[in-house]
Amino acid sequence: MKIQKTILAAIAALSLVSLSSVLANGNEDNGNPFKNTGKSRLIFGGNFLFDPNGLGGTIAKDGLSGNPRVASRDLNGDGVNEVYLQDQSLIYPDNKWKTISNVTGGAVHTRTGGPMTGGGLNLGWEKDVGDNFFFRVSLNLNTKISGGHTTASIGGYNFYDVYWNFRSAIIPAYFGIKLNFGKNSSFYVAPGLHYYNAMWQLKGNVDGQFLSDALGRTGLDTGIVYELPRRSATGSGGAVIQEDTVFRGHGIGFSYLIGAHTRISDKGFLFCEVETHVSASLTATGSVKSQGGASALAPFPAYPVTVAGNYYRFGYKHEL
């Protein structure tokens, strides 16, 4: 990803520029250019997160299977419908929708958003400890900013409209080591712990019956789509309409931080860093809102909630 590479390059550049400045200007702080100044700093930053909650594979290529449903079809070609259990998919992945659009010659029009990308704000405080250590505590608030929305339509009717969302609040605390380049710049690495409270959401409509009927009338329904939720032979289940399932979780995990900052004013610093959270996947229980969702998925489905991943951050520090 270009953003990851850009922020890593910025960290390296800040470190090299700062070290070059110290070597050119001579030693500071009584002959020790690597000593802390004993200051504390307020932190204001923004970050990007790619593939929140690890749902990218489900959205882009794997989909999400549902419960088998009772179906009726002429399986033997003798004009008599047989009742049988049929596999059912609640979510079709983006790559499958593109294939369906191609096979139907565009009769099924699709718009795929791909995996989610998250963004957020960071507020924090850090304090120098000793000659080369520091302590930091902060609050990170994140949400989805793009991706995670797939639609499929025929004749202007969106029979498949699935929307994903993600939000999290993370409170990490670090104690780490700093390589100070005089009073102006630092490169730092820190391990830590974090507490998180997060949610992800799945909402929308999946009307497989409309798709099957529409393709059947055009002669294109040749086994392409038989898995999406639709009416069964017993009349139970049905399409998923206005579903809105939310999974929430909270917990504690490990974190580590790599970054660099350099002075841009008397009390101001520019910083770039990568923050990595390693969190256990807490299984959370959601509650479906539609009859079709309860039939296709479960009345109370359980799926993991996590904030694990790399957070690519940049921002401003103000020295107190």
Q: Which of 1-5, 45-49, 57-61, 257-261 has the lowest mean pLDDT?
A: 1-5
For residue 24, what pLDDT is reported? Answer: 47
Q: Which of 3-7, 99-103, 165-169, 252-256 has the lowest mean pLDDT?
A: 3-7
For residue 65, what pLDDT is reported? Answer: 75
Higher pLDDT, 38 or 206: 206
For residue 300, what pLDDT is reported? Answer: 81
The residues with which 254 forms a beta bridge, in sequence order, are: 193, 278
Overall fold of domain 2-319: Porin (2.40.160)
As a whole number of angstroms, the distance between CA 113 and CA 227 comes to 22
For residue 29, what pLDDT is reported? Answer: 47
Please report, rounded to a whole number, the percentage of residues in the chain having pLDDT higher than 90: 48
For residue 184, what pLDDT is reported? Answer: 85
Q: Which of 40-49, 131-140, 162-171, 280-289 has the lowest mean pLDDT?
A: 280-289
Residue 162 pLDDT greater than 90, yes or no? yes
Higher pLDDT, 299 or 134: 134
* Model pLDDT for residues 83-131, shown as the tens digit of each residue: 656 566 788 899 999 988 888 888 889 999 999 999 999 999 999 998 8
